[in-house]
Structure 1
């Protein structure tokens, strides 16, 4: 079962569009977080009471980033020459974009975690 998923993911094409999925998800989560906090502070004066919607949005963002990172990790393992991937071949371009996507997914995951931390540590809006 797992090798079938790996082969299916490996057959997908990594493009610049897949490269921007992790940072775009991070940016969307950032916007969602600040809008959620602003609405909660305006209506309740505290944003850490019942943050279920926030944690749901964070879980969705983490899931999307992890999925993009896993796809990139599988595609970066495409058989071919060793790094650096500086040749003009299709495989080297695929592996370069996949590795770049993997790095951006890691950075975006850290960004989402740091965006979510204030809900854990700060309880009021002052």
Structure 2
């Protein structure tokens, strides 16, 4: 019997390792942006008007951040006791980490967009 992607996502468990995925992707994109700008300015002397390599790297980072946010969002909807979550059960911990991951994914998405804006708008290496 085939299971849908929603069921497979719900089977994934968020951990502290998955919590660091969105900020790590943003940091990798930030490093990629500066390296791309330094190399293109050194070799060519200016940015290309529409840098395809940079756009692909930015798109990949955004897709991965959205995917981790969607997985975390699915985990926040795990059934359990209603708020306040003062019992300290495993489900409450899972939902807390998932909610934190979802918020970090949103923040990382905005950070990647703000990192990409100067590269897309500034065409000069001065």
TM class, shorter-length: over 0.9
Matched, 1:96 2:63: no
Measured after TM superposition, the shift of residue 50 of structure 1 is: 4.3
Report the Cα distance in structure 1 between the residues aligned to 2:81 and 2:98, rounded to whole angstroms: 15
Measured after TM superposition, the shift of residue 48 of structure 1 is: 3.3
Tell me which stretches of 4 or more aligned residues in structure 1 moved more than 4 Å. Answer: none
Report the Cα distance in structure 2 between the residues aligned to 1:83 and 1:21, rounded to whole angstroms: 27
Measured after TM superposition, the shift of residue 99 of structure 1 is: 0.2
1:35 — aligned with what?
35
Measured after TM superposition, the shift of residue 87 of structure 1 is: 2.3
Which runs of 5 or more structure 1 residues have no equivalent in the other structure?
Answer: none
Report if aligned partners of 1:48, 1:122 keep a CA contact under 8 Å in 2.
Answer: no
Q: Residues 40, 90 of structure 1: CA spacing in aligned structure 2 closer, same or farther, 3 A cutoff?
A: same
Matched, 1:64 2:64: yes
2:18 — aligned with what?
18
Alignment of 1:47-126 (within 5 A): 47-126=47-126
Measured after TM superposition, the shift of residue 9 of structure 1 is: 1.0
Measured after TM superposition, the shift of residue 44 of structure 1 is: 1.0
Report the Cα distance in structure 2 between the residues aligned to 1:121 and 1:73, rounded to whole angstroms: 33
Q: In angstroms, what is the RMSD of aligned CA positions? A: 1.3
**TM-score normalised to structure 1 length:** 0.93
Report if aligned partners of 2:51, 2:120 keep a CA contact under 8 Å in 1.
Answer: no
Instruction: Count residues with an aligned counterpart.
Output: 124
**TM-score normalised to structure 2 length:** 0.93
Report the Cα distance in structure 1 between the residues aligned to 2:73 and 2:80, rounded to whole angstroms: 15
Which runs of 5 or more structure 2 residues have no equivalent in the other structure?
Answer: none
